[in-house]
C-alpha cells in the first residue's frame, strides 16, 4: 500500500499524539500510585505516634482488656486500618481485635524488629505493614537515629513492647481506574483537536506538492503540455517556476531526440538486416556441422583440457551404450580397461604439451562391460594465447577387423599346416608301405630258420609292425584333417547325437568322472553329418577327460540362440544350436588357449596323445559353417562352446 505525503504527515502526527498520550498516562499513573502510597504511609505513621503513647500506659499497668476494646473501637472508627496488634518485647501477642492472646509470633519481620529494637515498615502489594517499638519514655519526634545499632544502644533498655499496624489500600486500583478514565477522556479530546488541526495544516501545506506530483506523473507519461500556476514566492513557488522551465527544456530535447531517433532507426535497420543475414549463414553452418557431427560414421568426443567429456555424437553413444548426460563431466579414462588407462593419460599429456594431433589404437569399455578396439585420431583446439581449450577425439571401431584378421591368420596357419601335412602324409605313407612289407618278409624268413635268439628277433619284428600300424593310423587322421571330405548332410536333432555320445563315454570313462547333461527339449533341427559331429563331440569329451586325471564333472548342455547382434568375427545374425562342454579340470593359460586347435599341439606327452583331437573337431565344426569358442581359468576348468547354424 502506498501513501501520499499528506497521509504520511497525518499518520506521523497521530502516532506522535497517541504515543505522547500513552506516555503521559503511564507517568500520571505512576505519580498517583506514589502519591497515594506516601499519603497512606504518613497516615499510618501519625496513627502509630499517637497509639504508642496510648498503649504505653496500658502495657505498664497490664490493662490488656482495655487495649483489646480500644483496638476494636479504633478499627471501626479509622477507615482502611485492617489490623492493630500489641506485642511484648519477647514477641508474645498481648492484644488484637480478636481478644487477648499469649501466642508468640512467627512473623520474620516482627521478630527482626524485636531483635533489633527498631522500626520497620513495608508494602506487601496493596497492604502496608508498620511495626514500631513502644518506649517506656516517649522519644521526642524530632530525634532520628542514624542506624539501627545506634537506636538499639540508646533505647534498647527503654522498649516495653511493639505496635503492629496493617493498612489495607485495596481501594487504589479502583481509584487509579477512575483517575485513568478521566485522564484518558481528557487526553483523547485534546488529541482529536490536535489531529484535526494537523490535518488541516498538512493539506494546505501539501496541496502544491500534490499538484507538482500529479504534473510529474503526466510528464512521465509523455504529456509536456502541462504548466503549474505560481501563486507564491516561497520555496513552493520557486519549485513550480523551475518545474515549468524544465518542461520547456524537455520539449526542446524531445524534438531533438525524435530527429536523432529517426536517423538512428534507419542505421539500426540497415545493420539489423546485415546481422540477420550473418546469423542465417552461421545457423546454416551450425546446422551443417551438427548434422555432420551426429551422422558421421566415426565416433566423436569433445574433451576439455582436464580430459572430461563435454560432448559426444550419436555414433559414440551407439557404440559405447552411454548417453551424453551420463558421461558429461567424467574423465575419458574412467571408461577404459585398466591396461589402457596409462596409455590414454600419457597420450593426453603429450597433446597438452606439444599441441600436435595423434593417432593410436586403444581398448575401451562399453556400458555393459565389453571391450572394443578403437583406432582414434585426436586434434587440439587452442585459444588466442595458444592454450589448449578442447581436444577432439574421433575414432573408428576396428574390433571386428582385428578379430577377423586374427581369425584369418589362424586359418592361414592351419591351411599352411594342412598343406604341409598332405605332402608329408603321402611321402610318409610310401615309406611305411616299405617298412610294413619288409617286416612281413623278415618275419617269414626268420620263421624258416633256427636261431638261438629267434624269439627276441620275432618280438622285435612285432614291435616294428605295431609301430608301423600306429603310424598308419596317424596318417589316416592327418589325411582326414588335411582333406575336405564329402559329408552326408541330413536333418537331425543334436540331442540324439549327444545321447549316443553319452552312452559311449559313460561306459569307457573312469568312474571318478561324473557326466551330466542338460538338453533343451525343443531344440532346433540342424543339417549335419551325424558321424562327423559325433566324432567332434567324442574328441572334445576325451580332451575334457584328459584334463581331469583325478576326476571331476563333465557337463554337456544344449540350447537355442537367436543372434541379433554378432559378437564374433565368424558369427552372423540368425539362429544357432549351441552345445556347451564344460569340465572342472586344470584349465588353461592364455598362451595354451591360443594354440589348442593347432595340429600336433598338446600339453601332454606325445607318446600317448597325437595332438589332433581338438584340431580335427575344430575342422569338422568349421566345415559345418559353425565355430567354437573357449573360456578357461587356470586351475578351475574349461568350457568349449560350439555354435552350429540352423538352416
86: β partners: 95, 163
Contact 627, 641 (CB under 8 A): no
Q: Is the pLDDT of residue 644 over 90?
A: yes
Round to whole Å and give the CA distance between 276 and 283.
10
Closest CA to 529 of 486, 561, 570, 560: 486
Average pLDDT value for residue range 162-190 = 76
State whether residue 74 is helix, strand or coil: helix
Place of cell 561324473: 514
Q: Is the pLDDT of residue 643 over 80?
A: yes
Average pLDDT value for residue range 21-44 = 75
Q: What is the reported pLDDT for 87?
A: 86
What predicted TM-score, i.e. pTM, was given to this entire model? Answer: 0.35
Round to whole Å and give the CA distance between 555 and 639.
9
| Domains, the chain | 5-137+149-174 (3.30.450.20), 296-397 (3.30.450.20), 403-482 (1.10.287.130), 490-645 (3.30.565.10)
Q: Is the pLDDT of residue 23 over 80?
A: no
Round to whole Å and give the CA distance between 469 and 581.
32
State whether residue 550 is helix, strand or coil: coil
Q: What is the reported pLDDT for 576?
A: 93
Q: Sorting pLDDT into bands at 50, 70 and 90, what band is 345?
A: confident
C-alpha cell at 62: 497490664
Lowest mean pLDDT among 29-38, 252-261, 588-597: 29-38
At 598-637, the pLDDT tens digits run 766 666 544 445 566 788 888 888 888 888 889 988 888 9
Average pLDDT value for residue range 349-363 = 83
Q: What is the reported pLDDT for 553?
A: 93
Q: Is the pLDDT of residue 118 over 60?
A: yes
At 253-280, the pLDDT tens digits run 877 888 888 888 888 888 888 888 888 8
Q: Is the pLDDT of residue 125 over 90?
A: no
Q: What is the reported pLDDT for 582?
A: 94
Q: What is the reported pLDDT for 599?
A: 66
Q: Is the pLDDT of residue 342 over 50?
A: yes
H and E: helices and strands count for the chain:
15, 17
More confident residue, 322 or 482: 322
Average pLDDT value for residue range 2-17 = 66
Round to whole Å and give the CA distance between 523 and 499.
14
Closest CA to 575 of 585, 584, 562: 562
Amino acid at each position: 500500500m502506498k501513501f501520499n505525503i499528506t497521509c504520511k504527515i497525518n499518520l506521523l502526527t497521530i502516532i506522535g499524539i497517541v504515543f505522547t498520550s500513552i506516555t503521559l498516562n503511564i507517568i500520571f499513573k505512576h505519580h498517583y500510585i506514589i502519591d497515594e502510597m506516601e499519603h497512606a504511609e504518613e497516615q499510618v505513621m501519625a496513627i502509630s505516634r499517637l497509639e504508642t503513647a496510648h498503649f504505653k500506659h496500658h502495657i505498664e499497668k497490664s490493662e490488656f482488656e482495655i487495649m483489646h476494646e480500644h483496638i476494636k473501637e479504633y478499627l471501626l472508627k479509622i477507615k482502611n486500618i485492617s489490623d492493630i496488634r500489641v506485642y511484648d518485647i519477647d514477641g508474645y501477642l498481648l492484644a488484637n481485635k480478636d481478644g487477648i492472646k499469649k501466642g508468640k509470633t512467627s512473623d520474620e519481620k516482627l521478630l527482626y524488629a524485636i531483635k533489633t529494637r527498631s522500626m520497620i515498615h513495608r508494602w506487601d502489594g496493596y497492604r502496608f505493614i508498620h511495626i514500631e517499638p513502644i518506649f517506656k519514655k516517649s522519644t521526642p519526634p524530632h530525634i532520628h537515629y542514624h542506624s539501627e545499632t545506634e537506636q538499639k544502644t540508646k533505647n534498647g533498655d527503654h522498649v516495653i513492647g511493639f505496635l503492629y499496624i496493617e493498612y489495607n489500600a485495596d481501594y487504589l486500583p479502583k481509584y487509579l481506574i477512575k483517575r485513568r478514565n478521566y485522564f484518558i477522556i481528557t487526553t483523547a479530546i485534546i488529541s482529536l483537536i490536535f489531529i484535526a488541526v494537523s490535518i488541516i495544516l498538512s493539506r494546505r501545506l501539501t496541496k502544491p506538492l500534490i499538484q507538482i506530483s500529479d504534473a510529474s506523473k503526466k510528464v512521465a507519461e509523455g504529456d509536456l503540455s502541462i504548466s503549474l500556476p505560481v501563486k507564491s514566492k516561497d520555496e513552493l513557488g520557486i519549485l513550480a517556476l523551475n518545474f515549468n522551465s524544465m518542461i520547456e527544456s524537455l520539449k526542446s530535447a524531445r524534438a531533438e531526440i525524435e530527429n536523432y531517433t529517426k536517423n538512428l532507426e534507419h542505421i539500426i535497420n540497415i545493420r539489423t538486416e546485415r546481422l540477420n543475414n550473418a546469423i542465417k549463414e552461421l545457423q546454416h553452418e551450425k546446422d551443417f556441422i551438427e548434422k555432420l557431427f551426429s551422422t558421421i560414421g566415426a565416433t566423436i568426443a569433445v574433451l576439455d583440457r582436464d580430459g572430461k567429456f563435454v560432448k559426444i555424437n550419436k555414433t559414440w553413444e551407439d557404440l559405447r551404450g552411454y548417453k551424453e548426460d551420463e558421461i558429461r563431466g567424467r574423465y575419458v579414462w574412467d571408461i577404459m580397461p585398466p591396461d589402457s588407462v596409462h596409455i590414454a593419460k600419457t597420450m593426453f599429456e603429450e597433446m597438452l604439451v606439444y599441441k600436435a594431433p595423434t593417432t593410436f589404437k586403444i581398448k575401451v569399455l562399453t556400458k555393459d562391460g565389453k571391450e572394443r578396439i578403437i583406432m582414434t585420431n585426436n586434434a587440439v583446439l587452442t585459444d588466442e594465447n595458444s592454450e589448449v581449450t578442447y581436444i577432439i577425439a574421433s575414432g573408428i571401431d576396428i574390433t571386428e577387423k582385428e578379430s577377423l584378421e586374427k581369425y584369418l591368420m589362424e586359418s592361414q596357419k592351419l591351411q599352411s599346416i594342412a598343406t604341409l601335412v598332405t605332402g608329408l602324409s603321402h611321402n610318409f605313407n610310401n615309406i611305411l608301405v616299405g617298412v610294413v612289407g619288409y617286416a612281413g618278409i623278415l618275419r617269414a624268413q626268420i620263421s624258416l630258420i633256427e636261431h638261438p635268439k629267434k624269439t627276441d628277433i620275432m618280438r622285435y619284428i612285432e614291435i616294428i609292425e605295431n609301430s608301423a600300424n600306429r603310424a598308419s593310423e596317424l596318417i589316416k587322421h592327418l589325411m582326414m584333417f588335411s582333406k575336405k571330405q564329402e559329408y552326408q548332410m541330413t536333418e537331425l536333432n543334436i540331442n540324439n547325437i549327444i545321447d549316443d555320445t553319452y552312452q559311449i563315454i559313460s561306459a569307457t570313462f573312469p568312474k571318478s568322472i561324473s557326466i551330466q547333461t542338460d538338453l533343451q527339449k525343443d531344440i532346433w533341427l540342424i543339417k549335419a553329418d551325424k558321424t562327423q559331429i559325433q566324432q567332434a563331440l567324442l574328441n572334445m569329451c576325451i580332451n575334457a577327460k584328459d584334463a581331469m586325471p583325478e576326476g571331476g564333472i563333465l557337463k554337456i548342455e544344449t540350447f537355442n540362440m537367436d543372434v541379433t547382434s554378432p559378437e564374433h568375427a565368424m558369427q552372423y545374425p540368425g539362429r544357432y544350436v549351441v552345445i556347451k562342454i564344460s569340465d572342472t579340470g586344470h584349465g588353461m593359460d592364455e598362451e595354451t588357449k591360443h594354440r589348442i586347435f593347432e595340429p600336433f599341439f598338446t600339453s601332454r606327452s606325445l607318446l600317448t596323445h597325437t595332438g589332433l583331437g581338438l584340431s580335427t573337431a575344430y575342422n569338422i565344426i568349421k566345415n559345418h559353417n559353425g565355430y567354437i569358442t573357449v573360456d578357461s581359468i587356470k586351475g578351475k576348468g574349461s568350457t568349449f562352446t560350439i555354435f552350429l547354424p540352423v538352416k
